[in-house]
Amino acid sequence: MMLTIIAAIPSLRPSACAAIGSSLTCQTPSKFQYSILYTALSLASLGLGGTRFTIATMGADQFDKPHDQGVFFNWYFLALYVANVISFTAIIYIQDNVGWGLGFGICFVANAIGLLVFLLGKRFYKQVKPKGSPFVCIARVLVAAIWKRKASAATSRDTDYYYGDGILVDNTVPTKSFRFLNCAALKTETDKQFDGSYAKSWKLCTVKEVEDLKTLMKIMPLWSTGIFLSTPIGITSSLFILQALTMDRHLGPHFAIPAGSFLVFNLLATAISILIVDRFVLSKLTPLQRIGIGHVINIVALIGSALIERRRLGVVKAHNLMNQPGLVVPMSALWLVIPLSVVGIGEAFHFPGQVSLFYEEFPKSLKSTSTAMISLLIGIGYYLSTAITDLVDKTTGWLPNDINQGRLDNVVWMLAVVGVVNFMYYLICAKFFMYQNQIVGLKN
């Protein structure tokens, strides 16, 4: 709503630049105009953080079977990618050719309709009641483990630990992994209340809370592999646009595809692939296998992108365009559709697979956080992609202002090598990872 108002009311934004002679004079935005804009952007970020992946968790909570939850995640991501296709095409076209006010207004109406539909279904939802902050529980376990670090948990019996209500909860007993944390649930004389009972505190946690933290620690290496999977995607997304700007983007004599719109092919490939995966593949693969396939496909896409860039540079040299940045390279930009589509196919495997894995394997107290972890790793990956691009720019000559004089192919080959190393790391993490149902089976 605020963005729509900013676009519609002239006083909330700087006036248009005026031509004075051969130069343009532009008004600097006032502090008030900046504050309104940043407030709107902050609200948009908070809203996105509070809905995008929280909706995924709430939707999965409506189902009991892991397969049904996996199907929901697939359809959720399909809806997400289809919406992005509409944004990258119809909304951007309206903003560029009709007006920003109308473009933001349509987005506002869409959000209002979405909220209305959500509220109309409220009485049908299965709602999981909050039980306090899970992060406080994690902090309590760490504090208690440090406080009791000298206590001997190795020789203690199962009955020496605190289970909350005096009995074993969900067959949860202290495991041998990360044994140093077991001290947090070890009962001592100083933990006794006046009536001889025990209660949770910053010095005493339940065994379930300790095991939940261990579960989180075991899955974090797998989670970290997603960061280095997102980083190449973030870098190549920018590189694809740079390549498209130098290539022939015409479809027929009168229409040229905007360079920024090439990312739509990635979104379309992901949406179509999710449909195929859901129909023919989902029931045959575990989440770990789907993520692994996504890693491999992403590496293939990087190799293909490097080969296409090498061919583009060959055309540049053949036509002596290295010092003529304004001229179009006589090579169709549709070549970029191939690696973009392959990247999209990979995303159809690894993004829903990661959400499904984290939702199934995270402790119950962290279910809502589990799906948001995807957003976190994507964010870290994209920030890291900016840092890597800056490092490559400063230490090599591969990324000059005119990419016809650079070696963009070397950048992509470097990312492919990073992808291979990350995939090896993923295989090691996956080999030693055990699903929760496997752990329960071993206990029984």
- Please tell me whether residues 179 and 226 are part of one structural domain: no
Residue 296: inside a domain, yes or no? yes
Helices (H) and strands (E) in the chain, counts: 13, 4
- Please tell me whether residues 282 and 145 are part of one structural domain: no
The structure tokens listed for 302 are: 């990087």
Ramachandran category for residue 166: left, alpha or beta (phi over 0 → left; psi -120 to 50 → alpha): left
- Please tell me whether residues 288 and 194 are part of one structural domain: no
In sequence order, the β-bridge partners of residue 332 are 248
The structure tokens listed for 226 are: 């997603």
Rounded Cα gap, residues 270 and 78, in angstroms: 8
pLDDT for res 1: 93
Those residues whose C-beta lies under 8 Å from the C-beta of residue 35, and which sit 6 or more positions away, are none
- Please tell me whether residues 117 and 218 are part of one structural domain: no
Please spell the DSSP secondary structure of 288-337, one letter per residue. HHHHHHHHHHHHHHHHHHHHHHHHHHHHHHHTT-TT-TTSPEEEEGGGGH
Q: Are strands 329-332 and 247-248 parallel, antiparallel or unpaired?
A: parallel
- Please tell me whether residues 185 and 331 are part of one structural domain: no
pLDDT for res 180: 86
Helices 207-246 and 287-318 pack at an angle, to 10 degrees, of: 20
Residue 269: inside a domain, yes or no? yes
pLDDT for res 286: 87
The structure tokens listed for 86 are: 């509409």
Q: CATH no. for residue 338?
A: 1.20.1250.20
Q: Where is 19: in which H helix or E strand?
A: strand 18-20
Domain end marker among 150, 170, 205:
205
Ranges under pLDDT 50 in the chain = 440-442, 444
Residue 374: inside a domain, yes or no? yes
- Please tell me whether residues 277 and 418 are part of one structural domain: yes
Exposed/middle/buried for residue 24 (C-beta within 10 Å: 0-12, 13-18, 19+): exposed
Please spell the DSSP secondary structure of 146-158, one letter per residue. HHTTTS--TT--G
- Do the beta carbons of residue 300 and residue 371 sit within 8 Å? no
Those residues whose C-beta lies under 8 Å from the C-beta of residue 263, and which sit 6 or more positions away, are 88, 237, 240, 241, 340
Residue 25: inside a domain, yes or no? no
313-322 long-range contacts (CB < 8 A, ≥24 apart) are 313/404, 313/407, 313/408, 313/409, 316/404, 321/404, 322/402, 322/404, 322/405
Domain end marker among 187, 205, 223:
205
pTM: predicted TM-score of the whole model, two decimal places: 0.82
pLDDT for res 156: 67
- Please tell me whether residues 307 and 337 are part of one structural domain: yes
- Please tell me whether residues 244 and 393 are part of one structural domain: yes
Of 102, 3, 14, 10, give the one whose Cα is nearest residue 44. Answer: 3
In sequence order, the β-bridge partners of residue 24 are 19
pLDDT for res 291: 94
- Please tell me whether residues 223 and 164 are part of one structural domain: no
- Please tell me whether residues 415 and 285 are part of one structural domain: yes
Question: What domain count does the chain have?
Answer: 3
> For the segment 161-174, what is each residue's pLDDT rounded down to a tens digit?
888 765 555 556 78
- Please tell me whether residues 232 and 372 are part of one structural domain: yes
pLDDT for res 278: 82
Residue 323: inside a domain, yes or no? yes
Rounded Cα gap, residues 407 and 330, in angstroms: 18
Rounded Cα gap, residues 86 and 265, in angstroms: 12
Residue 60: inside a domain, yes or no? yes
Domain end marker among 99, 124, 149:
124
Residue 48: inside a domain, yes or no? yes
Residue 24: inside a domain, yes or no? no
pLDDT for res 422: 95
- Please tell me whether residues 165 and 288 are part of one structural domain: no
Rounded Cα gap, residues 420 and 436, in angstroms: 28
Whole domain around residue 116: which residue ranges? 2-13+32-124
pLDDT for res 154: 59
Of 212, 172, 173, 182, give the one whose Cα is nearest residue 362. Answer: 212
